[in-house]
Amino acid sequence: MASDLSAPVETAALAAEVEGLLDSAEPEGIYRDTRECGAGLLLLGALLISPPTPRPPKTDAR
Amino acid sequence: MAEQAQENSSLSAVVADVAAGVALALDGGRDSSALSGVLAQDDPLALAAIRVLGADVLAPYALRAGGGPGTTTDTGTDMDSGMAHRRTARASGVGAGPAARGARADGEVVRKALAAYPPGADASEVSLWSYRGLVEASRAYLPAGQGGPESPAGAGDRAAGPAAVAGWLQADPWPQLAHRASQLAALSLPGLAPALATGLAARTEDLSRGFVRAVRRRDWLQAAGIGRWLARVPDVPDTLGLDTGLVYVLRMSGGDARVALHTAIARRFHGRGAR
Amino acid sequence: MTAAPPALLHRVGDRALAWLHSNREYFRLTDDDRATGRGLVERLKPVGELAINMRVLAREGVAGSRQRDLSRQLLDFAWRDLLDGGNVLADLQAEEPLSPVPLEIYASLHELGYRHPGLEAAIDLARTTASWRAVEMLPNRRLGLLNAERKIGLVPSGDAEQALAATWLGRTPEPWTVQFHLAYDITHTVFHLTDWGAAPDRLPPRIAGYLALYLPAWTADWAELEHWDLLGELLVVDACLPAPTLDARMWERYAAAQAADGAMPVQGAMPAGDPETVFDLVHHPTLVAAFASAMATSRALSSDVAA
Give residue B34's pLDDT. 62
Distance between start and end Cα atoms, chain B: 28
- How would residue A59 be classed by pLDDT, with cut points 50, 70 and 90? low
Does the structure show a pLDDT above 90 at A56?
A: no
B156 against B21, higher pLDDT: B21
Of A14, A23, A29, the CB nearest to B45: A14
Of B4, B52, B120, the CB nearest to A21: B52
- Partners of C267 in beta bridges: C227
Q: What are the chain B neighbours of C213 within 8 Å (beta carbons)?
A: 205, 208-209, 237, 239
Enter the pTM of the model. 0.89
Q: Does C100 touch chain A (CB under 8 A)?
A: no
Chains that touch B (3 or more CB pairs under 8 A): A, C
The answer to whether C227 touches C217, Cβ cutoff 8 Å, is no
Does the structure show a pLDDT above 50 at B153?
A: no
Give residue B66's pLDDT. 73
Percent of chain B with pLDDT over 90: 64
Give residue B165's pLDDT. 63
Does the structure show a pLDDT above 70 at B181?
A: yes
- Partners of C3 in beta bridges: C247
Give residue B220's pLDDT. 97
What span, in angstroms and rounded, lies between the C-alpha atoms of B67 and B72? 11
Does the structure show a pLDDT above 70 at A31?
A: no
Cβ separation C31–A60 shorter than 8 A: yes
Cβ-Cβ pairs closer than 8 A, A with C, add up to 85
ipTM confidence score? 0.94
- How would residue B238 be classed by pLDDT, with cut points 50, 70 and 90? very high
DSSP string, C214-239: HHHHHHHHHHHTTBHHHHHHHHHHHH
Q: Calculate the CA B68 to chain-centre distance.
A: 13
The answer to whether C206 touches C169, Cβ cutoff 8 Å, is no
Q: CA torsion, points C232, C234, C238, C239, in degrees to nearest 10? A: 40
Q: What are the chain A neighbours of C105 within 8 Å (beta carbons)?
A: 48
Give residue B172's pLDDT. 94
For C39, the 3-state DSSP assignment is: coil
Structural domain spans, chain C: 6-301
Does the structure show a pLDDT above 90 at B148?
A: no
Give residue B166's pLDDT. 61
Give residue A62's pLDDT. 42
Does the structure show a pLDDT above 80 at B168?
A: yes
- How would residue B156 be classed by pLDDT, with cut points 50, 70 and 90? very low
Residue type at B180? R
State the number of CA atoms in the 13 A half-sphere of A21 facing the CB: 28
Q: Which of B224, B215, B2 is nearest to C179 (CA)?
A: B215
Closest-CA residue of chain A to C185: A50
Q: CA torsion, points C278, C283, C284, C290, in degrees to nearest 10? A: 140
Cβ separation C220–B237 shorter than 8 A: no
What span, in angstroms and rounded, lies between the C-alpha atoms of B187 and B167? 18
Structural domain spans, chain B: 2-270
Buried b vs exposed e over B180-199: b needs ≥16 C-beta within 10 Å? bbbbbbbbbbbbbbbbbbbb
- How would residue B2 be classed by pLDDT, with cut points 50, 70 and 90? very low
Low-confidence ranges of chain C (pLDDT < 70): 37-38, 303-304, 307
What span, in angstroms and rounded, lies between the C-alpha atoms of C8 and B36? 61
What span, in angstroms and rounded, lies between the C-alpha atoms of C133 and C126? 10
DSSP string, C238-284: HHTSSS---BHHHHHHHHHHS-TTS---SBSSPPPS-HHHHHHHHHH
Q: What is the mean pLDDT of chain B?
A: 82
Give residue C69's pLDDT. 93
B42 against B254, higher pLDDT: B254
Protein fold of C6-301: Glycosyltransferase (1.50.10)
Give residue C199's pLDDT. 95
Does the structure show a pLDDT above 70 at B233?
A: yes
